[in-house]
Amino acid sequence: MGLLATRRILLGLGGGIAAYKAPELVRRLRDAGAEVRVVMSAAAARFVSKLSLEVVSGFPVGDDLWSTDDARIVHTDLARDSDLVILAPATADLIGKIRHGLADDLLTTTVMAAKTPVLVCPAMNTEMLDNPLVQDNIAHLRSLARYTFLEPGVGLLACGITGPGRQPDPPEIIEAAAAVLADKDLRGLAAIVSAGPTREPIDPVRFIGNHSTGTMGFAIARALAARGATVTLVAGPVSLRTPVGVARRVDVETADEMLAALTELWPSTDFLAMTAAVADYRPAQRSQEKIKKTDASGDSAMPPTLALARTPDILKTLAARPDRSRVMLLGFAAETHDVIDYAKAKLVDKDLDAILANRVGVPESGFGPGDNIGTLVFRDGTFVEFARAPKELFADALVAALAPRLTHLARRSAHA
Ligand SMILES: Cc1cc2nc3c(=O)[nH]c(=O)nc-3n(C[C@H](O)[C@H](O)[C@H](O)COP(=O)(O)O)c2cc1C
């Protein structure tokens, strides 16, 4: 089951150059579990073939307001039979027409007739996007609850200039679509997720690090944000894009920097998920110059001995704060053996509210973009087992298991 399992998506294509990406988007939406029907404007049909879209979606593509199928009115049926409309690319023209309630083709008529949420993905050249009329249309639609906008990306555009206006890639659109459809039961919850490794410098070019990629933490941040939480992501050095909906990202490098960032954020936090793989040790001394393998005379130098010092225990430090009980603390235990026993011991030792025990060092789970398997253990001894799943889905299941306790915190914050 994917992020959009069993959801019925109506994908509307405006006539922008990014329409050529639509077949890939349809395929990815279907991979995410959605049923996809496509409606395209006449201009869109100049950029992408109807046939490709029919083949990848598995349904006829709508492009004619005046066609009837067994005397049914196509645009009202399409509008009624969808859970979400995605407009990608949303051209300046399409946005303008919708803003003004115009409906002169199948696409605009369907949008006017639909009662579902609409995810709008503007894609156009930077000058068009910057045009005050376009901005005014976007601002007006944004003010209506039904329309959610996905910010266009910055990049090299078809017109040859680099700037904002690029249609985001399918994974971003899928995240945004899942977020639009998700229950907002965590609205009001201020959450922090730490993710990724830390790097402890040896000299200006070398460091002690670990295999963490940040994938799990980023997925949890996305899942929390999709349910309405205000999420700050504190990330070690990773090469991942900030998930859709995450309010703020703070990039850090060392364990000391991570502790400093979390300490600063702590006073306004209800929930901290500490997924980061923080180094336990750092070099006792950081060399200001690159350590050479030859000595001054050019001979091979003796291999240096690296003295190590403990890094701060971030969870323990935060758990020792006087206002500790205000914050729900979720720790993570990545172990290679006796996973649950070590996790329970860590929960008690660090004074956590819950811990996710997962297995590393086995092919199907652990570091990297693959799957995860784990057990969530609460302080009261209750636990939830999670079957093997891709990390995105694992994160949704984990947040769902935490939600009853988190909604309580969200309500408390809302009334504070
Ligand atoms: C080569 C080419 C590329 C275009 N790319 C875009 C674009 O990326 N975004 C946009 O808003 N309009 C773009 N346009 C202009 C639209 O195609 C034009 O405004 C059209 O009327 C849009 O119709 P629609 O909104 O019904 O699809 C482009 C036009 C051409 C000829």
Q: Which atom of ligand 1 is nearest to the CA of 14?
A: 27
pLDDT band at 339 (very low <50, low <70, confident <90, very high): confident
What pLDDT score does 228 carry? 96
CATH of the domain at 157: 3.40.50.1950
Tens digit of each residue's pLDDT (9 = 90 or more) over 114-172: 999 999 999 999 999 999 999 999 999 999 999 999 999 998 888 788 889 999 999 99
Tens digit of each residue's pLDDT (9 = 90 or more) over 208-237: 999 999 999 999 999 999 999 999 999 999
Q: Give the span between the Cα atoms of 375 and 262, in whole angstroms.
A: 25
Q: Is there a single domain that holds both residue 221 and residue 173?
A: no
Boundary of a domain, candidates 132, 149, 181: 181
pLDDT band at 361 (very low <50, low <70, confident <90, very high): low
Q: Give the span between the Cα atoms of 283 and 359, in whole angstroms.
A: 27
Q: Is 159 a catalytic residue?
A: yes
Do the domain assignments include residue 133? yes
Out of 11, 13, 17, 135, mutate this one to test ligand 1's pocket (max ligand atoms within 8 Å of CB): namely 17
Do the domain assignments include residue 3? no
- Mean per-residue pLDDT, 29-51: 97
Strand partners, 87: 12, 120
**Domains: count for the chain:** 2
Q: Give the span between the Cα atoms of 277 and 213, in whole angstroms.
A: 9
Q: Which atom of ligand 1 is nearest to the CA of 15?
A: 27
Rounded to the nearest angstrom, the distance between the alpha carbon of 18 and the centre of ligand 1 is 9
Neighbours of 396 (CB within 10 A): 22
Do the domain assignments include residue 340? yes
Boundary of a domain, candidates 141, 159, 181: 181
Determine the longest span between alpha carbons in the chain, in angstroms. 91
Q: Is there a single domain that holds both residue 201 and residue 301?
A: yes
What pLDDT score does 365 carry? 57
CATH of the domain at 212: 3.40.50.10300
Q: Which residues' Cβ are closer than 6 Å to ligand 1?
A: 14-18, 41, 43-44, 89, 91-94, 123-124, 128
Lowest mean pLDDT among 2-11, 50-59, 67-76, 91-100: 67-76
Q: Is there a single domain that holds both residue 276 and residue 338?
A: yes
Rounded to the nearest angstrom, the distance between the alpha carbon of 145 and the centre of ligand 1 is 26
Whether the ω angle into residue 89 lies within 30 degrees of 0, i.e. cis, is: yes
pLDDT value at 320 more than 60: yes
The tokens describing 350, both together, are 């660090």
Do the domain assignments include residue 1? no
Q: Is there a single domain that holds both residue 57 and residue 95?
A: yes
Rounded to the nearest angstrom, the distance between the alpha carbon of 44 and the centre of ligand 1 is 8
Residue nearest atom 5 of ligand 1, based on CA coordinates: 16
Percent of the chain with pLDDT over 90: 76
pTM across the whole model: 0.90
Rounded to the nearest angstrom, the distance between the alpha carbon of 17 and the centre of ligand 1 is 7
pLDDT band at 364 (very low <50, low <70, confident <90, very high): low
What pLDDT score does 332 carry? 93
3-state secondary structure of 174: helix
Q: Is there a single domain that holds both residue 233 and residue 164?
A: no
Tens digit of each residue's pLDDT (9 = 90 or more) over 123-135: 999 999 999 999 9
Q: Is there a single domain that holds both residue 242 and residue 333?
A: yes
Residue that wins the pLDDT comparison between 336 and 101: 101
Q: Is there a single domain that holds both residue 21 and residue 153?
A: yes
Q: Is there a single domain that holds both residue 86 and residue 31?
A: yes
What pLDDT score does 305 carry? 86
Rounded to the nearest angstrom, the distance between the alpha carbon of 114 and the centre of ligand 1 is 23
Do the domain assignments include residue 2? no
Do the domain assignments include residue 122? yes
What pLDDT score does 363 carry? 60
- Mean per-residue pLDDT, 295-324: 86
What pLDDT score does 1 carry? 63
pLDDT value at 73 more than 80: no
Q: Is there a single domain that holds both residue 170 and residue 205?
A: no
Q: Is there a single domain that holds both residue 174 and residue 40?
A: yes
Q: What is the mean pLDDT of the chain?
A: 92
Range of the domain at 343: 190-415
What pLDDT score does 335 carry? 75
Residue nearest atom 17 of ligand 1, based on CA coordinates: 15
- Mean per-residue pLDDT, 196-204: 96
The tokens describing 296, both together, are 């001054």
Residue nearest atom 19 of ligand 1, based on CA coordinates: 93
Boundary of a domain, candidates 181, 210, 240: 181
pLDDT band at 369 (very low <50, low <70, confident <90, very high): low
What pLDDT score does 351 carry? 92
Q: Give the span between the Cα atoms of 339 and 375, in whole angstroms.
A: 9
Neighbours of 214 (CB within 10 A): 24
Q: Is there a single domain that holds both residue 250 and residue 162?
A: no
Q: Which of 159, 205, 309, 345 is catalytic?
A: 159
pLDDT value at 336 more than 80: no
